[in-house]
Amino acid sequence: MPQMYPLNWLSHYCYFISLVFLSMLLHYFNYNINTKYFIKNNNNNILMNKKTKTLKWKW
């Protein structure tokens, strides 16, 4: 049976840290792209909540 997880705790730890780092990067880039391409040139169909920094579509 092939081993799907790293054996020692160090590689486990590095794997976990890289996962957290990648998710943080993804979140940051997602927020950047949303603010750059949607809010700056919106034609009154997207509302942004300033407190939670989330996008809300107004149909």
User: How high is the pLDDT of residue 56?
Assistant: 59
| Residue 11 pLDDT class (50, 70, 90 cuts) | confident
Are the C-beta atoms of residues 10 and 18 closer than 8 Å to each other? no
Are the C-beta atoms of residues 48 and 55 closer than 8 Å to each other? yes
Instruction: Report residue 48 as tokens.
Output: 């942004």
User: Is the pLDDT assigned to residue 39 strictly greater than 70?
Assistant: no
* pTM (two decimals): 0.38
User: Is the pLDDT assigned to residue 20 strictly greater than 80?
Assistant: yes
What are the sequence ranges of the domains in the chain?
Answer: 9-57
User: Is the pLDDT assigned to residue 21 strictly greater than 80?
Assistant: yes
Place of tokens 């957290």: 20
